[in-house]
Amino acid sequence: MPENSVTINTVARMARTSKTTVSFYLNGKFEKMSAETRGRIQKAIEATRYRPNLAARCLNRKRTKMVGVILGDVANLFANQVVRGIESVTLPENYQIVLGNSNYDGRTERIYIERMVNMGVDGLIVQPTLQFPDVGKKLKALGVPIVFLDSSARRTANSRVGTDSRTATRRAVEACLERGYDDFLMLTADPGKLSARQDRVSAFLGVLKKAGKACATLPLHSDTSPGEISAFVAGHLRLNRHTLLFVPNCWALPTVYLALRNFRNLIPNTVGVLGFDNTEWTRFSAPSVTTVVQPVYEEGREAMRILSDILSGKRKEPVARMLECAVDWGESTALRLSGATQPAAG
């Protein structure tokens, strides 16, 4: 059945219920609806690929005090801190968070946006992928503002809150060069997914290019094993050379550190490690790990403050905020050669 021929009446007939009941389902009004009815409607929507007409939802729109939050991976510590930051504003202002996990996929982002708009969220906070769907005009017509968090998206002019991880990465790598590291390895998730990843990778490679240094890269996936990482590192270590490992993804750093357990005695004089965040364990590991630390809690709080100002009418124009990062120097980059300088803390 062509998607453009599917209407709410089509879904109602297939689900063996009324148009009004389907409308209640789409608006998240389940109080008087049985689980069996909800199941039939969901199956009908999936079978017909029905997509509500978002433009029609601008009629009689009322505030619900709900905010949709869509993050790339809700399971990692970054997401935990972001949500806590958002809640520091939503709780006193009596907003309810509706959370979605995009898994860094543009199609999933669109599905969550449509579902959250159908539920009646007042606004959205999204960690957008570079494949973020072009829904800006529809959301504007509906009066649903959106604030981007951590990354930016193409073809959009929305408010954004991020961290200046590019500058922090550059300074940290320059300091490691001064300490005497010769060779460089990068273990990274696909930088084509998020603009924030691209910023870190380009900053790292830019410093190396300026210094005339090469870099070998291991692409990381959710199922990359510690054994694969260990074999990659072992294959690139050279006698009497000092090798720095750069891990620009906070979720990957624990796996990489676990993979280095057979190399711990080589840290930092043969192997150096530079990662992101994870200070809840990196400061107490042995050896401790140097990381670029993002003010993630503040990032979430600032994003919600901006959204709250938009919803209350205090802010009319898009705004971009970039928060500074710090470098938490640990033992994993404590290589000291003759003439090498000690970088400033923080």
Mean pLDDT by 10 residues, the chain (346 residues): 71 91 79 87 87 53 85 92 97 95 92 89 93 78 88 80 96 96 96 92 97 97 94 94 96 95 94 96 96 97 97 90 96 76 48
Q: Calculate the alpha carbon distances from 265 to 93, 149, 272, 337, 342 in Å.
A: 51, 39, 11, 18, 22
Helix axes of 35-48 and 8-15: crossing angle, nearest 10 degrees: 130
What residue type is assigned to position 135 of the chain?
V
Question: What pLDDT score does 156 carry?
Answer: 67
DSSP-derived secondary structure letter, 193: S
CA–CA separation, 215 vs 186, rounded Å? 7
Question: What pLDDT score does 62 carry?
Answer: 67
Domains and CATH numbers, the chain: 1-51 (1.10.260.40), 165-293+326-333 (3.40.50.2300)
Question: What pLDDT score does 255 carry?
Answer: 95
Whether the CB-CB separation of 211 and 177 falls below 8 Å is answered with yes
Question: What pLDDT score does 120 carry?
Answer: 87
Burial class (CB in 10 A: 0-12, 13-18, 19+), 344: exposed
CA–CA separation, 304 vs 87, rounded Å? 8
DSSP-derived secondary structure letter, 176: H
